[in-house]
Every structure is written in structure tokens, then in C-alpha cells.
Amino acid sequence: MPSHASPADYNSNPIVHRCVRLIAELSSHVPFTVCSKSAGCYVKNKKHFLNQVLKRPNPKQSGAEFFSSMITNQLLFGEAYILLIMADNSNCELYLLDNKNVSIISSDDGYMAYVYDVNNAPRYYPIDSFTQQSKVLSIKNYDPNNPSHGLSCIVPASTAIAVHNMSMQWNYSLLKNGARPSGAIVVKDSSRHLRDEQFQRLKSEIEEKYGSSMNAGKPMLLEGGLDWKEMSMSPKDMDFSESKDSSAREIALSCGVPPQLLGIKGDNTYNNMQEARISLWEETVIPLLTRVTDSLGHWLSYWLKEDISIVFCKNDISVLSEKRENLLAKISNISFISLNEKRAMVGLPPVKDGDKLM
């Protein structure tokens, strides 16, 4: 089984497409900030040149477009490749590499490199054997069977995707037949048989006059001795509808998207849509963004020879603001802890005379 999804899954399956686009678009609009290390801790440095690089990684792409495409690659292929082009320690650009053109080579003497091959013109980006650093950064999902590459979140749902696609094809075929089950033309006299030329003529006429969805509902004219017998479907045969919804739920869960947000019937895990949105952020988007910012910060620190960290502020995420306000109100009403203890609970530094009970 491949460790990445087929592009056809993203292009043709609406559940896969919506899940990936939803996560990528939400993630790409969260602003990143560069922090520099000072006195043993990281402090936001709004004057750092990398802030502008994150907003516009290269002349052709905005930050939102760059990170949306990067996260889409990570979800579909299990990994995303970013190339660093440096002019000096205060000027650089970031480019997203096409996964289909990237490979990793290694030799017996320990040489390893990323190879980016476009139009049979390969470019080699060595990987340091000690630090494992390269001008190409690979941000990947863990794959226990192949640690060098990432595992797409779509792969575990491959069976569900196939079932969902077949269910849609079933509906399409049924509509082409007038949304009715098919039937059979039967010779009334069991002792008679149609000659080969009669059978072929009848088959051709049926395909020509009744085979299109435009001909749905037209009456069928049969010659003497022939009868039409309609074949009905049992309730068990109609279970494909429930199977379609079930496979859609499995695809959504594999991507980390609450099925309720996709309007899938029969799924009411959360009391309301607000809870489902909060779950999407807290269980999928925020962990994904944390992994991306940690990888970028560590990688850029090495090449810039500067200890930096890239962070994003959860307080800037509007869907989480109501939950945070409720938390702050509860902490504020606690009477048996000090002000500094309350501030520590929400990640704020202590203040003078804040250790006394109020």
C-alpha cells in the first residue's frame, strides 16, 4: 500500500477534497511570529526580517497561499518539502517543492541528498550526515514502515474512499436509468428462442432508444411474444446509501475533521456546530500548526545561526475566544489562590505583590 494518497482521490472525491481544503485553509490564515532568545527565554521580535518572509515567502506567493499548499501536500502525500534560498543571514526566500519531483538518494559512503528533478535536470541538496540538516526541509507525518517518508492521513481511509466512490457511481448509474431498477425482456413462450440476429437487433434498439437518461420514462414497445419483467430492489439492496454515509464518516475521521461539519447524516457527536469547530481546531489544526512551526524554527535557526522560535497566538483564533473567556472568568472567581497563581495558569508572568491571597 502506498504511503500517500492518489491525486484522483483529491480531485474526484468530495469528502477528501473538502477535508483537505478545510484544514489547509484554516491553517494558512493563522499569523506566525518570530521569537528571539533573550535572557534564557524566547521573546517576540516583531522587527525580525523573518516575519516578512513568513508573510511573503517568495516573490510569487503570499504566506497564506504558500502554507495552504504546503499543508495540502503534507495531508495528501504525508510530507511537504521546503527549499531555502539564502543571500545572507538577513535575507532569504522559501519555496515549496513539488512532491512528485523529489527523491532521496544515499550511497555506501554515507552521502545523502535530496534530489529535485524537473525536466531531467536534477538538482542535489546534500544532507549533513551528523546534523541531518539540508537546504531542503521535509515536514512529514510519522510512518512506522518508512521513517524516511511520511504517511498520508488519507491512506488509512483508502477502502472507505473506494466504497464512497462506488456509491456515487451507483447513484449516477441509477439516475441514468431513470432512477429505477432495471428489468428483463422475457419470451412468453418458453419453447421459443430468439435467433442471434433477432437478439442483436433487439439489443441495439434498446440501447439506442432507451439507454440514455434523456429517454427515462419512455414507454417500451415490444413485439409479439415478448414481455417486460421489472426487477425490484429489496431494502437490503438499498443499504448502499447508509454505506455511503458510513464511508464518508470514516474519511472525515481519518483526516481529523468532525463529520458533523461536513453535513454527513446520522452524526451528532457534538451538541452543536460550535463544539465541532472547536474540536477541529484543538485536535487537528493546532497540533498540525505546532509541528510546522517547531520544524521551521529549528531548521531556520541552524541556517541563520541564530536561536529563534516561530509561534502563533491561540488567542488570535476567533473560534477559541469564547472558550478562553469562559476559562478566564472561572479562574478569576477562584478565591483560594493568589493573583500570580492565576496569572501562571493562563501563561502570564508574575507581578509585584501578586503572591497574596485576594
Q: What is the full per-residue pLDDT of the chain (358 aa) written as tens digits?
A: 455 555 677 888 899 999 999 999 999 888 899 999 887 788 889 899 999 999 999 999 999 999 999 999 999 999 999 999 988 777 899 999 999 999 999 888 878 999 999 999 999 999 998 898 999 999 998 888 887 788 888 888 888 888 888 888 777 776 665 545 456 666 565 555 666 776 677 667 666 655 554 554 455 545 555 665 655 555 555 566 677 888 889 999 999 999 888 888 766 666 678 888 888 998 999 999 999 999 999 999 999 999 999 998 877 777 777 777 777 777 777 777 887 777 777 767 788 777 776 5
C-alpha cell at position 288? 498540525
CA dihedral 69, 71, 74, 79 (to 10 degrees): 80
Contact 23, 73 (CB under 8 A): no
Rounded to 5 degrees, φ, ψ at 129 are: -70, -25
Q: What is the pTM of this model?
A: 0.75
Angstrom distances, CA of residue 100 to CA of 29, 32, 124, 156, 286: 26, 28, 15, 21, 27
Running DSSP on this structure, what letter comes out for residue 38? Answer: E
Contact 226, 187 (CB under 8 A): yes
CA-based nearest residue to 100, from 79, 84, 83: 79
C-alpha cell at position 61? 506567493
As to burial, measured by CB atoms within 10 angstroms (0-12 exposed, 13-18 middle, 19+ buried), residue 182 is exposed
- The single residue listed with the C-alpha cell 457534538 is 270
